[in-house]
Chain A
Amino acid sequence: MIKNTTRNDIILSINNNVGISMSLSSKIVEDIFETIMIELENGNDVKISSFGTFNLKHKKTRIGRNPKTGIESAISARNVVTFNGSNNLKKKIR
């Protein structure tokens, strides 16, 4: 059975491999999320070696179409995050 990996699995893995308490592992995981998000909010890229790069991209307003009804409507401008896996990651999952 395929099981999704969740926050808890990562916390457990840190707890096992690093030998720190569950609560401290959990705190560090939250700090990782928070630090990456703050960096992206400030418009900076986040490069994690042998993992990949997170980039913030700004998308302009464009006209889209509801595929079901065919009615045209504006898609508002938005910020999106793109992730580019490193060559190392690409090789590993290939």
Chain B
Amino acid sequence: MTKSDLVIKIINLNNYINQKDVQKSVDTFFETIITSLINSNKVELRGFGSFGIKKREARLARNPKTGSIVAVPTKKISFFRMGKGMKERLNK
């Protein structure tokens, strides 16, 4: 399922008056999560799951092909952890 499928399914679920509003709402939904993650804020959605940021420290790694040492800078990585509600539904 893609984002446009998601929008269509939500429109079909209810007869919303304005389909454009549904489209914009779905976009805003994901943009709000992205903005929080950019600001390193955790996103907690009860029954669904939580999104957050983990920091990876700088380290020295090796290029597996050439064997030369490369410096890997610190970086931030997003993660998702499913919530209790989702866990229960997927493990019935």
List of A residues within 8 angstroms of B18 by Cβ: 20
Q: 1/0 per position for A1-45, CB-CB distance to B under 8 A? A: 011111101100110011110001101110111011101110011
Q: How many A-B contacts are there with CB distance less than 8 Å?
A: 137
Within 8 Å of chain B (Cβ to Cβ): is A75? Answer: no
By beta carbon, the residue of chain B nearest A25 is: B25
**Would A20 and B21 count as touching, CB distance under 8 A?**
yes
Q: 1/0 per position for B23-49, CB-CB distance to A under 8 A? A: 011101110111011101111111111
Q: 1/0 per position for A57-72, CB-CB distance to B under 8 A? A: 0000000000000000
**Would B32 and A5 count as touching, CB distance under 8 A?**
yes
Given A31-B14, A92-B34, CB of A48 within 8 Å of CB of B25: no
Q: From B1, B24, B34, B37, give the contact of A47 (CB < 8 A).
A: B1
Q: From B13, B36, B44, give the contact of A31 (CB < 8 A).
A: B13
Q: From B10, B21, B45, B90, give the contact of A7 (CB < 8 A).
A: B45
Given A45-B1, A48-B2, CB of A93 within 8 Å of CB of B76: yes
15 sample A-B contacts, Cβ–Cβ < 8 Å, listed by A number: A2-B41, A17-B24, A20-B18, A31-B14, A32-B26, A39-B1, A40-B90, A44-B1, A51-B34, A81-B86, A83-B51, A85-B78, A93-B77, A93-B78, A94-B75
Interface residues of A (CB under 8 A from B): 2-7, 9-10, 13-14, 17-20, 24-25, 27-29, 31-33, 35-37, 39-41, 44-52, 54, 56, 78-83, 85, 89-90, 92-94
